[in-house]
Structure 1
Amino acid sequence: MSQKQDHVTVYVLSDSVGETAELVVKAAISQFDEAKTTIRRIPYVEDTGTVDEVIAEAKDNKGMIAFTVVLPEIRNYIITRAREEALPIYDILSPLLTIMEDRLQEPPKNESGLIHTLDEDYFRKVEAIEFAVKYDDGRDPRGIMRADVVLVGVSRTSKTPLSQYLAHKRLKVANVPLVPEVEPPEELFSISSDRVIGLKISPEKLNGIRTERLKALGLKAEANYATMQRIEEELVYSEQTMKRLGCRVIDVSAKAVEETANIIFQLVQSEQEEKS
């Protein structure tokens, strides 16, 4: 039985980006006191020199190693070196690969990074995510002209999470908050209304969301931001602006972000099919 430690560093090795291995390790760590653990991810391990460096550091820190490595020579070297230094190791992929090989009666490809092949689709996704971050919350109205979809609505109508969710579906999304005291950017009125989606919400639902938000920030729930008078003022202004824009409107009061995102995605897909 190993000696009890106050803190353990888990070295996560992969010959790809290492996301799979890290997620598995995080799932295991969640069952313990997470403050007692540290994860160090080492991606793109393709040579024995990198393995030796990690082994040496893990030995000094009395750490452990988890890995997803499909290249046989590197995988075997990790196992051999870890055993030589009496380091605990966990091979995440090999047991499953062995079972599948037996069932399918064919050898694995042993090619690293297949799950994250850097094809055109992958780059489009990354570009869309970066776009959503750059043009979030009306930061730069120039994004409106370049966006596939522009979301408009009052504060706390899920514009930001919707932008990110749709970005993972390869759509470039900008979002603009509607505030009575601030005139919407003129770019909003110069693009096709088909590219603009308005988000509306019931006053009661918005009041609950904003009240909880204030509590989370340690502020008083009766702040003007969450009062029904202010909310109704904002919603009236928002409705008027959406009518000026002539955009489609989705009521998000009783919808999860995923549900709203799927509705928007289907609308965009339908339009693209009609145009093609």
Structure 2
Amino acid sequence: MARIHLHLLSDSTGETLEMIAKAALAQFDEADVQRHFWPMVRSKQHIDRIVPDIAGSPGLVLFTLVNPDTRARLEEHCLTLGLPAVPVLDAVTEALEAHLGQEAHGRPGRQHSMDAAYFARVEAIQYTIAHDDGIGHEDWEEADILLAGVSRSSKTPTSIYLANRGYKVANIPLVVESPPPRALFTLRRPLVVGLTTAPDRLIQIRRNRLLTIADGQESDYVDADRVAAEVRFARRLFADNDWPVIDVTRRSIEETAAAIIRLLGERDAREALPERMGPV
């Protein structure tokens, strides 16, 4: 298979462009792609310095450049070299301009500006780290989401992912011999979500975990009957409290997080409905 060169040019950190390229490449099997990454490209002079490298490894050029002079220079060079140059955000930006009835500002890296949302995200990450693994139940009412599940049901990585999206998340491991604190059953603000998984998958994950521990000896932690009992205990607790449940057996962290965000949105919409309807 011939190697394809993919040149990514951004006038900011390039994080958005990288994610778009990664998502698109995931649609192709065994694509042999050599990526060339060029962030913080904000002048025609910078474009001129990059072009010899592009010419040396000709391929597809993807860019997110909002300055008209800079992007025009890149497009001129690509036209001369006979290379396709794709402005990956143009279609979305144009659609939003038409829908909103206003022109885009064209500010490089604007999505990374340190606005209120940025600081809220930082606060969410700090809260989530401080309330991992059942810690700080006195402050659970401040959370947006609380995840409950047996050990190794992906609570922590899902919490961190959601925190990076701006949600304050606490999580608690469910242990048969150790009842959860009463605070778990009196929460009003957070959405409590139960995470569950197939026992055989859970045993596999736990065995991999044990391999990282010094002695690595198996115990009740991976005993089939014991694990099955843990999962039943958690599912019964979820059902008794009418908490939504997500089976993470075949879900990625991103898919689990997306399902949780959808549940939160649906709950908030239900709670806001009487207010929108007004008094009856």
Using the size of structure 1 for normalisation, the TM-score is: 0.62
1:230 to 227, 230, 234: 227
Please tell me the residue identity of whatever aligns with 2:11. Answer: D
Aligned to 1:90: 85
2:10 to 5, 8, 14: 14
Distance 1:23-1:254 versus aligned 2 partners, 3 A rule? closer
Residues 229-250 of structure 1: per-residue CA shift (max 9 Å, x gap): 333157548978x9xxxx9552
Aligned to 1:116: 111
Residues 49-107 of structure 1: per-residue CA shift (max 9 Å, x gap): 332332233334445422122211001111223445x2624132587489869x89x99
Q: What does residue range 31-46 of structure 1 map to in structure 2 within 5 Å?
A: 31=28, 33-34=30-31, 36-46=32-42
Is 1:252 the counterpart of 2:252? The answer is: no
Please tell me the residue identity of whatever aligns with 1:159. Answer: K
Please tell me the residue identity of whatever aligns with 1:33. Answer: E
Please tell me the residue identity of whatever aligns with 2:229. Answer: E
Conserved in 2, the CA contact under 8 Å of 1:9 and 1:40?
A: yes
Conserved in 1, the CA contact under 8 Å of 2:194 and 2:246?
A: yes
Structure 1: gaps spanning 5 or more residues: none
SS at match of 1:250: coil
Q: Distance in 2 between matches of 1:61 and 1:155?
A: 49
Aligned to 2:186: 193
Structure 2: gaps spanning 5 or more residues: 212-218, 249-254, 276-280
Q: What does residue range 13-162 of structure 1 map to in structure 2 within 5 Å?
A: 13-30=9-26, 31=28, 33-34=30-31, 36-84=32-80, 86=81, 88-93=83-88, 96=91, 108-109=103-104, 111-113=106-108, 116=111, 118=113, 119-129=115-125, 131-132=127-128, 134-135=129-130, 137-138=132-133, 141=135, 145=139, 148=143, 149-160=145-156, 162=158
Conserved in 1, the CA contact under 8 Å of 2:11 and 2:109?
A: no
Conserved in 1, the CA contact under 8 Å of 2:150 and 2:175?
A: yes
Distance 1:182-1:64 versus aligned 2 partners, 3 A rule? same
Distance 1:190-1:27 versus aligned 2 partners, 3 A rule? closer
Conserved in 2, the CA contact under 8 Å of 1:210 and 1:226?
A: no
Across the aligned residues of Structure 1 and Structure 2, the Cα RMSD in angstroms comes to 5.1
Q: CA deviation at 1:11?
A: 1.9
Using the size of structure 2 for normalisation, the TM-score is: 0.61
Q: Distance in 2 between matches of 1:262 and 1:107?
A: 29
Residues 9-38 of structure 1: per-residue CA shift (max 9 Å, x gap): 32211224434533443355342533x213
Q: Distance in 1 between matches of 2:195 and 2:95?
A: 49
Conserved in 2, the CA contact under 8 Å of 1:153 and 1:200?
A: yes
Is 1:163 the counterpart of 2:132? The answer is: no
Distance 1:154-1:116 versus aligned 2 partners, 3 A rule? same
Of residues 15-24 and 90-99 in structure 1, the stretch that sits farther from structure 2 once superposed is 90-99
